[in-house]
Structure 1
Amino acid sequence: MSLDAPTTLSGLLVGVVVGLTGVGGGALMTPILVLVFGIAPQTAVGTDLLVAAVTKLFGVAVHQRHGTVDWQIVRRLALGSLPAAALTLAWMQWSGAERVGDGLIIKAVAVALMITAVGMLLKSWLHQVGKRERIKRPQWFRRLQRWLTSVAGAVLGVLVTLTSIGAGALGTVMMVHLYPLRMNSHKLVGTDLAHAIPLALIAGLGHLLIGNVDTTLMTNLLLGSVPGVLLGSLVGTRLPMKFVQGAISIVLVLVGVKMLMH
C-alpha cells in the first residue's frame, strides 16, 4: 500500500469535524472523494461507510469516558436503522441497483446533502417545537417517542446505505426534536456517534460484498480520520457549536449544488 498524503489530509480534516460535531462524515467525505479525487460515486459511498464505522469508534471511546452517550436512545434508533440498512442492501443486490449509473448516484448524494443542510438549519426551530410539545402534552409525547425514534432510525438506515450521508446531521436533528429535554449538545454528539457505528458497519460490509469498497483508499483515509476524530472529540467543548454547524450547512448546500451540476 502506498501512502497518499492528500487523501490522508482529507481524512484528517473530516475526522476533526466529525469529532467536534458528530456531523459531516459522509456529507463531507463522499463529495470530496467524488469531486476532488475523481472516485466513482458507488466506491466513494461504500469506502466512506467503512471509514466512518472505524473513525467514529474512536470518537465514541472518548465520549463514553465522559458519560455523554445515551445508550437507550442508541438502541431505539438501531431498532429501526439496522433492519432498514439490511433490507436496502438486499434490494440493491437483488435489483442490481449497485450497478446504477454514476449520474443517478451523484444526484441522490446531492439531494441527501440538501436535506441534511436544511435539517441542520432548522435544528433550533425543531428543538423548540419538540420542547413545547413535550411540556404541553408529556404523556402523549412520551408514548410516541420510542416508536418515532425507531421510525427515524429506519429513515436513516435507508438514506445512509444508499448515499453514506445523514447518520450524523439528520440523526442529531431528529434527536433534538424527539428528546428536547434530555439531550445536551455533548450527549447529542456522543449518542449520534454511537448509533452511527453499527449502521455504517452493516452498510459498509454490504457494500464491500457488492464490490464498492477500495481498501487502499480506505486505509489512507483512516490514517487521517482516526487522529482527526480523537482531536475533534477532545476539543469539541471549547468551540461555538452553532457557528460550526452553521458553516457546515452552508458548505453542504454549495457542494450539493455543485454535485447536481457535475
Structure 2
Amino acid sequence: MIDPLYVVSGFGVGLLVGMTGVGGGSLMTPLLILLFGIHPATAVGTDLLYAATTKTVGSFAHSWAKSIHWPAVTRLASGSIPASILTLFILWQLDLNGESSRSLVNLVLCFALFLTAASLIFRKAIMQRHSWRLEQLDPAATARATVLVGVALGVLVSISSVGAGAVGVTALLLLYPQLPMPRIVASDIAHAVPLTLVAGIGHWATGEIDWHLMGVLLVGSLPGIIIGSYLAHRVPEPALRLVLAATLILVAGNLASHELLSSSSIIAAFASGAAR
C-alpha cells in the first residue's frame, strides 16, 4: 500500500533538488528519521540507493550533453570508493542495529547537515578568500587534493548519506576554478552515482534497506525533480540557497536535541537501575 505522506515527502524533496541541485540526502534522511521514525541506519541505506537512482538519470543527461569533467570524477572516486568500503566495514563491525551505531549516524548526520548549510551560505565568501591560492596549485597537487576530498566525502556519505551535493560542489569549485558552474555540478552528480551505489549496496548487504519505502519515495520525487528543474530559472537562486540552508540548520538542531534527549533517557534509566 502506498502511503500518501511518503509520496508528498518525496515530491517536496524532489522539488527542492530540482530547483537547487542539492538537498536530497540532506533533507530525505533526517525526514525519514524525525517524521517517520525510521531507524537511522535504515534511513541512510534507503536514501543512498534512492539517490543513486535519481542521480543516475541526471548523470546520463549530463553525459549526453558532454558537460562532465571526467578527470575530476575519476580522482574523486579513487578516494571515495575505497573510503566508503572501509567505512562500511567498520560500521558492520559496530553492528548497524545497535544503539551506539544509531548515535554515531545521528551525530555524523548533524555534522554533515551543518557543513552542507555552511557550504550553501558561505560558498561565495570561501571562493573569494581561497580561490586565488588554489589557482596557484600545480596539476599534480590539484589531483592529490581531489583524491583527499573524495576520501572525506566517502566517509561522510557512507555514514550519513549527506555531503555529495553542496559540499562536493564547493570543493570542486575551489579545486577547479577554471570550470564553469554547469560542468562542476555535472561532475559532482556523476561522482555521486558510484559513491551512493557502493555505499547503498553496503547497507543493503547488512539488511538496512526498505525497498517499498524507496519505491514510494521515487513515485513522488521524480515528478518533483522534473517540476523543480522547470522552476529553477524562475526563482532567485540566492533566496533558495538561504531557505535550504536555514532548513538544514533547523533539521540538524532538531536531530541534535533528539539525540541529547535519547542519551539523557538512557543515562537516567541506567542510573535508576544501578540505584536499585
Contact 1:46–1:208 (Cα < 8 Å) also in 2? yes
Aligned to 2:110: 110
CA distance in 1, matches of 2:86, 2:117: 26
Aligned to 1:151: 148
What TM-score results when the alignment is normalised by the length of structure 1?
0.90
* Letter of the 2:203 counterpart: H
Cα distance change of structure 1 residues 20 and 71 upon mapping to structure 2, 3 Å threshold: farther
CA distance in 2, matches of 1:127, 1:222: 34
Aligned to 2:262: none
CA distance in 1, matches of 2:57, 2:225: 7
Contact 1:12–1:226 (Cα < 8 Å) also in 2? yes
CA distance in 2, matches of 1:243, 1:67: 29
User: Counterpart of 2:150 in 1: which secondary structure?
Assistant: helix
Q: How does 1:107-256 map to 2 (within 5 A)?
A: 107-135=107-135, 137=136, 140-184=137-181, 186-256=182-252
Q: How does 1:81-96 map to 2 (within 5 A)?
A: 81-96=80-95
CA distance in 1, matches of 2:41, 2:62: 31
Aligned to 1:41: 40
CA distance in 1, matches of 2:36, 2:150: 31
Shift in Å, 1:49:
0.5
Aligned to 2:268: none
User: Counterpart of 2:183 in 1: which secondary structure?
Assistant: helix
User: Counterpart of 2:192 in 1: which secondary structure?
Assistant: helix
Provide the aligned C-alpha RMSD in A: 1.9
CA distance in 2, matches of 1:45, 1:59: 21
Contact 2:41–2:96 (Cα < 8 Å) also in 1? no
User: Counterpart of 1:39 in 2: which secondary structure?
Assistant: coil
Contact 1:130–1:179 (Cα < 8 Å) also in 2? no
**Deviation string for 1:137-162 (max 9, x for gaps)?**
3xx34331111011001100000000
What TM-score results when the alignment is normalised by the length of structure 2?
0.86
Structure 2's unaligned 5+ residue stretches are 259-276
Shift in Å, 1:97:
4.8
User: Counterpart of 1:122 in 2: which secondary structure?
Assistant: helix
* Letter of the 1:110 counterpart: C
CA distance in 2, matches of 1:23, 1:201: 17
Contact 1:22–1:193 (Cα < 8 Å) also in 2? no
Shift in Å, 1:23:
1.1
Number of residue-to-residue matches in the alignment: 257
Cα distance change of structure 1 residues 213 and 97 upon mapping to structure 2, 3 Å threshold: closer
- Percent identity over paired residues: 39
Q: Which has the larger radius of gyration?
A: 2
